[in-house]
Amino acid sequence: MKKEWEKDRGLFIRMFLTMFFLAALYLAFIAVLSVLGVSIIPLVFMAGVMLFAQYYFSDRLVLMSTGAQIVSEEEAPELHEIVSRLCINADIPKPKIAIVQSSIPNAFATGRNSKRAVVAVTAALMKQLNKGELEAVLAHELSHIKNKDVLVLTIAGFFSTIAFFLVRYLIFFGGRDRNSGGIMIAWIVSVIVWLLSFLLIRALSRYREFAADRGSAILTGQPSNLILALLKISGRMEQVPKDDLRKAEGMNAFYIIPALSGESILGLLSTHPPIEKRIEALEKIEQRL
């Protein structure tokens, strides 16, 4: 299983290069700020506290924002049976399982590590999919846990958060010292770093989705089930009321398929690859299997 899990070198290289460019960007950012004499220690501390709290309490915050309810084995025996079996295959501890009462068919995983993880599905998803398709979706979410995606994306976003704070902080500071050319240069550099890191982190997020799709295919041995699940979920999205989609958009980074109202900029800068690309990748895996 381990050999198969690490086999996709192309995907690994793309993720590695994205992280490399992020690291290079952040190092250049620090160097420029140092030359300009801008002290970022308070902002590093602020960003560190904020991201640590987000990482440490991510499972609770996500459950609260979605209204997800943890269910016991007696309340949802089928879900527990599927997750228990997949966790054995994935060699990870069994996470908590939650159900969200929502009209949007979707699923997500959260938690700072495999011992604190939660996998959640919506009631609409359970009605929409058959057992094989539901298993494929749950395997996708468990792959996020095994791949430590919450940790990876939190680390990747650290200096991006600092750059965002500097964009806001330097406008205020510069307003009181307009003759300082260094402040203006630092502000421009911060804007550029934030924009570039935003795009790179979105690219990294999309690669992590490909990796989770691949993990699902390996865990279940049936990539076609995930293909059918993705098609059903995306097709159902068009029938969900726009207001329900707008309310769920803040959670799109966690969902297996983003809940887009059609009017959001998230449709242009999505955290997920296009469905067509994901299906194409799964079909290639199916041919190899």
Contact 210, 278 (CB under 8 A): yes
Residues 6+ apart with CB under 8 A from 193: 25, 26, 29, 159, 160, 163
The Cα 167–Cα 171 span in angstroms is: 6
Q: How many CB atoms sit inside 10 A of residue 6's CB? A: 9
Beta-bridge partners for 89: none
Contact 86, 145 (CB under 8 A): no
Contact 204, 22 (CB under 8 A): yes
SS3 137: helix
**CA distances (Å), origin 105, targets 35, 137, 277:** 51, 11, 20
SS3 267: helix
Looking at the annotation, which residues are catalytic?
A: 141
The region, left, alpha or beta by phi > 0 then psi within -120 to 50, assigned to residue 32 is alpha
Contact 90, 143 (CB under 8 A): yes
Is 209 assigned a ligand-binding role in the annotation?
yes
Beta-bridge partners for 122: 100
Residues 6+ apart with CB under 8 A from 106: 100, 121, 122, 124, 125, 233, 248, 255, 256, 257, 259
Is 140 assigned a ligand-binding role in the annotation?
yes
Provide the annotated binding site for Zn(2+): 140, 144, 209
Provide the annotated binding site: 140, 144, 209
